[in-house]
A and B are shown apart, each in its own frame.
Chain A
Amino acid sequence: AQRVTQPEKLLSVFKGAPVELKCNYSYSGSPELFWYVQYSRQRLQLLLRHISRESIKGFTADLNKGETSFHLKKPFAQEEDSAMYYCALNGDDKIIFGKGTRLHILP
């Protein structure tokens, strides 16, 4: 069965400090993994996907198949990063999400 786990419901980080949002997954095949972000009063939107291996808004995420993890990282947090972040897995044609982590950047 597919499963996505985000262990932290809330993460508070000071501006300028590093950020790491954790995501672990369970899937028997080869998954497609994504991070989505939901800013206040906006719709969910894609932040990045593992296959593109790119940095978006300073965020990166590396797929670690050994640890079945896809943690989201940013070296220096900015106030505009405050949002809800969801890790997602696309396997067997359906996209499932973790419960989300609310990132709160402290001034």
Chain B
Amino acid sequence: DAGVIQSPRHEVTEMGQEVTLRCKPISGHNSLFWYRQTMMRGLELLIYFNNNVPIDDSGMPEDRFSAKMPNASFSTLKIQPSEPRDSAVYFCASSLNQGAEAFFGQGTRLTVV
């Protein structure tokens, strides 16, 4: 297995544009997490899914952020419209079951200018 795959690796966009980040979890894992990493706040949990169902989205900062998991092998995190303060590294992670370790993707570095 290639591990958790995220795309794109880097994204530069103008303020106001829509941004879509993509994630392919490890096959067979039933939990998927989206995190945002910044210098100020470290790793923040935005939302997580269990068996494709969103369980807790309390970490999503604003309504401009949305996430979907249409099937067990794909998830998206969308920001619309994007703002400069959304600039960060966004990580996707998956885990096999409760209490298990999380496996991380390489992250997407988002820059909003």
Question: A residues bordering B, Cβ < 8 Å?
Answer: 6, 32, 34, 36, 43-46, 49, 51, 86, 88, 90, 93-100
Do A97 and B43 touch across chains, with their CB atoms under 8 A apart? yes
**Whole-angstrom CA separation of A52 from B100 in the bound complex:** 12
Known A93-B50, A94-B55, A95-B95; contact A46-B101, beta-carbon cutoff 8 A: yes
Known A34-B101, A94-B55, A95-B33; contact A86-B43, beta-carbon cutoff 8 A: yes
Q: What are 28 pairs between A and B in contact, CB < 8 Å?
A: A6-B42, A32-B99, A36-B102, A43-B105, A43-B107, A44-B91, A44-B104, A46-B101, A49-B101, A51-B99, A86-B42, A93-B98, A94-B33, A94-B48, A94-B55, A94-B56, A95-B33, A95-B45, A95-B93, A95-B102, A96-B45, A97-B35, A97-B43, A99-B41, A99-B42, A99-B43, A100-B42, A100-B43
**Whole-angstrom CA separation of A36 from B102 in the bound complex:** 9
Contact of B31 among A6, A88, A93, A99 (CB under 8 A): A93
Question: B residues bordering A, Cβ < 8 Å?
Answer: 3, 31, 33, 35, 41-43, 45, 48, 50, 55-56, 91, 93, 95, 98-107
Cβ-Cβ contact count across A and B, 8 Å cutoff: 54
Chain B residue numbers with a CB within 8 Å of A99 are: 41-43
Chain B residue numbers with a CB within 8 Å of A45 are: 104
